[in-house]
Amino acid sequence: QHAAWIIPFFCYQIFDFALNTLVAISVLVYPSTIQDYLRQLPSNFPYKEEIMSVNPTCLVVIILLFISIILAFKGYLISCVWNCYRYINGRNNSDVLVYITTNDTAVRTL
C-alpha cells in the first residue's frame, strides 16, 4: 500500500546494476586481469588448469557474455520493481477520468 517503501529497494537495484556494469567495462578495458586473477586462485580450485588453457580472447568473450546475461536479468528486475511502484502509485491515486460525449447532431441556424 505504500509506494515509497519500494524506492530503497529500487535504488539498491540501480546501484547493483551500475557496479556490474563497471565490472563488465573493466573486463573489456583490462582483459589481462582475468589471467592474473586465475593465477591467484588456489591450486585445488576445480577446472583451474582447463580455464587457464583457454585462449584469453575467448575467455574474455565468454565472461562478457555471462555478465551481459546477468545485466539483462538485473535490468528486467529493475523494470519489474519500477512497474510495481507505478502500479501501487496508480492504485493510490483516486482521480477518476471523466469522458464527456454528446450526440448533438442537430443543425443550428442563426
pLDDT (tens digit per residue) in 43-91: 888 888 888 898 988 999 999 999 999 999 999 999 999 999 888 888 7
C-alpha torsion sign, points 71, 73, 75, 78: negative
Q: How distant, in Å, are the alpha carbons of 76, 77, 89, 94, 97 from that of 84?
A: 12, 11, 8, 17, 22
Beta strand residue intervals within 8-96, DSSP E: none
Q: Cβ–Cβ contacts within 10 Å for residue 60, how many?
A: 19
Question: Considering the entire predicted model, what is its pTM?
Answer: 0.72
**Among candidates 18, 19, 6, 13, which has minimal Cα distance to 83?**
6
